[in-house]
Amino acid sequence: MQKNEKTAENGEGREGKKLPKASEYMARTEQAVLHTYNRFPVVLEKGQGVYLEDVEGKRYLDFGAGIAVFALGYGNEEYNEALKSQVDKLIHTSNLYYHAPLMEAAEKLVKASGLSRVFFTNSGTEAIEGALKAARKYAYNKDGRTDHEIIAMEHSFHGRSIGALSVTGNAHYQEAFKPLMGGVKFARFNDLESVKAQVTDRTCAIILETVQGEGGIYPAEPEFLKGVKQLCQEKDILLILDEIQCGMGRTGSYFAWQQYGVEPDIMTCAKALGCGVPVGAFVLGEKAAASSLVPGDHGTTYGGNPLACAAVSRVFDLFEKERIIDHVRQLTPYLEQTLDALVEKYEFLSARRGMGFMQGLVVTGRPVGEIVGKALENGLIVLSAGSDVLRFVPPLVITKEDIDEMARRLEKSF
């Protein structure tokens, strides 16, 4: 046992000061924080590489990455130094002024996506809100009507604010908060005829996740996504692709839609965009950018601040320098083979599905939460998705050895 682990167990910090025990941290948190999460009984303190450590010195192999956020792993020195340097320069200005990190981050995101214009937000949910407003403004500019409709997908997840919740295809999340935003219809994911049946002359946008995340790790089928794109082109409907979880290299390309040969009119992204710093964005293609939001239509005080943009800029630099996307492509077959072997071995695992480092195992006959909890006891962080899927969204820097260790700890949990 290392020295710092001993001091943590004895309840002393690095300076010898007495620290609260984990139970006290948890109790005091529950007293002060609104109870909207059923948190696991772990108090995390620090991370290094693909491991996290709690206040008692226990280490966890992290295959959740803060819900697909920490793509570069923990403790990346170049990333940390970029943030420290920006903190010493300038953290916030508002969007009334220019600053260099905004320019750099926007240029790199435009280059990576091949789209036209960026609006930075504080979160993925806010990116969805902005995308919906842009789509409605685009339609309003065409015909002056305010009764336009949006088609979303069943079992989708786009966020918790009223607008984002309105296009989230899960009644359980919605029922206590109605009435929601009007003019939203739902179609079945990967069912093109279902989408076509919802289209009217008032349809202004179709929104979907390129890979459904919370709904159970369902990638869009190529024929479906291409068919939706063709429908949008024929009807002058904007296609909004939500890449908040599946974007930023997770599937083996910067954005999952790039593997389909289908370009959205508007894309949303967040999570790994800042690798831990809260930041999101919606990115518009030329058509949407040229005829939608103008000064006065949309805004944010914190969005695109120097600190967040410095993080985004350095994330893109490190993705290129460390060849992150190539690494995901090279290691995906090994991750898939490892998970497929588990499906073959255990009767309660019925299938694997996913793309790249966004994978799910379908569990039958036993609660997914039970497995997630047991894995945590065995020092492995995995997530659930939907009601019956074990979700694996690790940092993009994992190795074969990490995958092997994940499988060992998961089998122990089984």
Alpha-carbon dihedral 34, 35, 38, 42, rounded to 10 degrees: 50
- Look at residues 136, 118, 162 and name the one whose alpha carbon lies nearest to residue 267: 118
DSSP assignment of 176-243 equals GG-S--SSEEEE-TT-HHHHHTT--TTEEEEEEESEESTTT-EEPPHHHHHHHHHHHHHHT-EEEEE-
pLDDT at res. 392: 98
Cβ atoms 326, 83 nearer than 8 A: no
Q: Domain spanning 3-72+323-413 has what CATH number?
A: 3.90.1150.10
| Domain spans, the chain | 3-72+323-413, 78-321
pTM of the prediction? 0.94
Alpha-carbon dihedral 311, 312, 314, 320, rounded to 10 degrees: 150
Residue 345 CB neighbours (<10 A): 10
| Whole-angstrom distance, CA of residue 319 vs CA of residue 140 | 39
pLDDT at res. 15: 52
pLDDT by residue for the chain (414 residues), tens only, comes to 343 443 444 445 545 556 678 999 999 999 999 999 999 999 999 999 999 999 999 999 999 999 999 999 999 999 999 999 999 999 999 999 999 999 999 999 999 999 999 999 999 999 999 999 999 999 999 999 999 999 999 999 999 999 999 999 999 999 999 999 999 999 999 999 999 999 999 999 999 999 999 999 999 999 999 999 999 999 999 999 999 999 999 999 999 999 999 999 999 999 999 999 999 999 999 999 999 999 999 999 999 999 999 999 999 999 999 999 999 999 999 999 999 999 999 999 999 999 999 999 999 989 999 999 999 999 999 999 999 999 999 999 999 999 999 999 999 999
Question: What one-character DSSP code corresponds to residue 113?
Answer: H
Burial bucket for residue 193 (CB in 10 Å: 0-12, 13-18, 19+): exposed
Structure tokens at 305: 């601040």
pLDDT at res. 4: 43
Cβ atoms 13, 46 nearer than 8 A: no
Burial bucket for residue 191 (CB in 10 Å: 0-12, 13-18, 19+): middle
Residue 143 Cα distances to 135, 139, 140, 205, 386, angstroms:
13, 7, 6, 15, 39
Name the 3-class secondary structure at 256.
helix
pLDDT at res. 18: 63
Q: Which helix (DSSP H) or strand (DSSP E) does residue 299 occupy?
A: none
CATH class of 78-321: alpha beta
Q: Which helix (DSSP H) or strand (DSSP E) does residue 59 occupy?
A: strand 59-62
